[in-house]
């Protein structure tokens, strides 16, 4: 297990002289600049559940500016790197929570004259950059064959897997390798043609879906590093993390004798995620052959009616690990979905954690968790319910994180902040047997 050398900031920091492509920017701390005071930092990263693609991460920082140090008529921070790190008050160590770029910079003048302005800085992570990078012939992809002139063409990946396509797309977007962690995949990709104006994020997400839709994931982690995790990161995360050059993987324990869970805590058993009929096929498969790409669970259909899932026109060429053809590899995805999702499972909709005094006996575990948890971590949950129900050592993957930090003293270097954090989770039982 390793981590790239990219973390070099403390508190709320901006890099006015650098760009989002700078691996190690020169940071200026805003929370200790002049009479600036951080009022609140809110961060949202990840996705609600495994059937969604990961959304652009966002951070909103609110500051009180007494001297005009963050007045947007004086400073121009748009598109500049911005990052947030928090100090564990138990160990006195700093940990990253977000890195991205300044998207909007608002300034609200106060009439009182005491607090001259309220500053609101909106930031986005690297997914926003890729979503807004439009493809153009000659600027991305490979030399096209004659029939694809005027389009953006990517050659098939031969025996190199989806990581070849993703790394090529990142290079096309001028993204630095020092801010990338692209794991190897288990399929080859078909040659693919994109129309001018499509997003380069579509190229990356198509490659991720070809590896295994809903299982593979492309996201930005707490360090600001763009990450691709293939299926093995879900089916055997411990082994994958042990050899990864960048994955700060943790297995947490919450509830019972572990990290204290606070309200709100909600769980649901829902029809919404039942999938008892699934169809999955690769691009260019003859329409008549698609009937062979369907998996069903008749017992579940008789009970719940048809609840379908489809992944169509995947660019899966064939399986590297499995040796399967493209259609058979895609059919294995459909079989996996039905085998795991044909019947409703109880899911945790919301699990919440809040600040404790560092000297509290539960403080060390809580502060280690809220300062270091990240997307793709595992968390084992125990929670008893009135009447005898509840959760006993059930393991989940972290899909999304929502967190709010409010300093209780004038700076982030002393004392401890208020924090409220909630997680979006998916049951790890779905990833115990690889198809």
Across the range 115-135, mean pLDDT stands at: 94
% of the chain beyond a pLDDT of 90: 93
Lowest mean pLDDT segment, chosen from 257-271, 305-319, 367-381, 421-435: 421-435
- Kindly report each contact of residues 292-295 with a partner whose C-beta sits within 8 Å and lies 24 or more positions away, as own/partner: 292/327, 292/331, 293/327, 293/330, 293/331, 293/334, 294/334, 295/331, 295/334, 295/335, 295/337, 295/338
The pLDDT of residue 431 is: 84
CB 270 within 8 A of CB 344: yes
Residue 1 has pLDDT above 80, yes or no: no
What is the pTM assigned to this prediction?
Answer: 0.96
**pLDDT band of 435, cuts 50, 70, 90:** confident
DSSP state of 322: T
Say which residue the tokens 């539960």 belong to: 362
Q: pLDDT at residue 400 above 70?
A: yes
Residue 273, pLDDT above cutoff 80: yes
Q: What is the pLDDT confidence band of residue 66, given thresholds at 50, 70 and 90?
A: confident
Strands (DSSP E) along 243-345, which ranges?
Answer: 251-254, 262-269, 277-282, 294-296, 308-314, 316-319
What string of H, E and C letters represents the secondary structure of 217-260? EEEECCCCCEEEECCHHHHCHHHHHHHCCCCCCCEEEECCCCEC
What's CA 74's distance to the chain center, in Å? Answer: 34
- Block residue for tokens 């990142």: 170
Contact 9, 85 (CB under 8 A): yes
Contact 259, 366 (CB under 8 A): yes
Q: Which pLDDT belongs to residue 114? A: 59
Report pLDDT digits (tens) over 144-175: 999 999 999 999 998 889 999 999 999 999 99
d(CA 236, CA 228): 15
Work out the average pLDDT over 58-75: 94
When pLDDT is averaged across residues 325-332 and rounded to a whole number, the result is 98
Rounded distance, CA 205 to CA 393, Å? 33
Collapsing DSSP to helix, strand or coil, 164 comes out as: helix
Give the chain's mean pLDDT.
Answer: 96
E strand or H helix that includes residue 204: helix 200-211
The residue written with tokens 């390793």 in the block is 2
How would you classify the pairing of strands 192-194 and 152-154? Answer: antiparallel
Rounded (10°) CA dihedral 12, 397, 341, 422: -50
Q: From CA 245, how far away is CA 259, in angstroms rounded?
A: 28
Per-residue pLDDT for 203 more than 70?
yes
Non-local (6+) Cβ contacts of 431 within 8 A are 215, 234, 235, 397
Instruction: Report the alpha-carbon distance of residue 305 to residue 323 in Å, rounded.
Output: 34
The closest of 49, 375, 359, 394 to 254, measured between CA atoms, is 394
Q: Are 314 and 281 in contact (CB under 8 A)?
A: yes
Dist CA 190 CA 285 (whole Å):
12
Give the count of beta carbons closer than 10 Å to the beta carbon of residue 77: 19
Burial class (CB in 10 A: 0-12, 13-18, 19+), 342: buried
| pLDDT of 56 above 80 | yes
Has residue 3 got a pLDDT over 80?
yes
Does the pLDDT of residue 115 top 60, yes or no? no
Q: Are 31 and 38 in contact (CB under 8 A)?
A: yes
User: Alpha-carbon distance 355 to 367, whole Å?
Assistant: 8
Spatial separation of the C-alpha atoms in residues 238 and 165, rounded to whole Å? 26
């Amino acid at each position: 297990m390793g981590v790239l050398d990219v973390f070099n900031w403390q508190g709320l920091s901006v890099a006015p002289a650098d760009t989002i492509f700078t691996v190690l920017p020169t940071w200026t701390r805003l929370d200790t600049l002049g009479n600036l005071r951080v009022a609140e930092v809110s961060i949202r990263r990840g996705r609600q559940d495994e059937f969604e693609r990961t959304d652009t991460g966002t951070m909103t920082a609110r500051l009180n500016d007494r001297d005009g140090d963050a007045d947007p008529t004086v400073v121009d921070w748009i598109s500049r790197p911005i990052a947030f790190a928090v100090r564990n008050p138990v160990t006195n160590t700093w940990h990253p929570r977000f890195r991205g770029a300044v998207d909007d910079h608002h300034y609200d003048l106060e009439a009182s004259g005491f607090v001259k302005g309220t500053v609101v800085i909106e930031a986005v992570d690297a997914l926003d950059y890729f979503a807004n990078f439009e493809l153009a012939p000659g600027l991305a992809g490979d030399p096209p064959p004659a029939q694809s002139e005027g389009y953006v063409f990517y050659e098939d990946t031969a025996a190199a897997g989806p990581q070849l396509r993703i790394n090529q797309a990142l290079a096309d977007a001028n993204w630095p390798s020092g801010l990338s962690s692209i794991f190897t995949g288990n399929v080859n990709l078909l040659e693919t043609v994109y129309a001018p104006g499509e997003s380069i994020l579509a190229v990356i997400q198509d490659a991720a879906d070809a590896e295994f839709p809903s299982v593979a994931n492309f996201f930005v982690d707490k360090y600001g590093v763009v990450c691709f995790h293939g299926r093995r990161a879900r089916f055997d995360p411990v082994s994958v993390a042990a050899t990864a050059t960048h994955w700060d993987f943790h297995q947490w324990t919450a509830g019972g004798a572990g990290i204290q869970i606070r309200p709100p805590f909600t769980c649901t058993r829902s029809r919404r995620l039942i999938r008892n009929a699934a169809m999955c096929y690769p691009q260019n498969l003859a329409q008549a052959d698609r009937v062979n790409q369907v998996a069903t669970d008749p017992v579940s259909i008789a009970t719940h009616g048809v609840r379908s899932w489809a992944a169509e026109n995947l660019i899966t060429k064939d399986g590297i690990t499995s040796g399967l053809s493209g259609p058979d590899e895609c059919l294995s995805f459909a079989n996996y979905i039905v085998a795991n999702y044909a019947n409703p499972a109880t899911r945790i909709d919301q699990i919440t954690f809040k600040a404790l005094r560092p000297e509290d006996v539960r403080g060390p575990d809580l502060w280690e968790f809220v300062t270091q948890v990240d997307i793709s971590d595992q968390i084992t949950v125990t929670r008893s319910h009135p009447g005898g129900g509840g959760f006993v050592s059930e393991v989940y993957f972290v899909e999304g994180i929502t967190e709010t930090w409010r300093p209780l003293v004038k700076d982030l270097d002393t004392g401890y902040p208020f924090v409220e954090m909630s997680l979006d989770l998916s049951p790890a039982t779905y990833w115990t047997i690889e198809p």
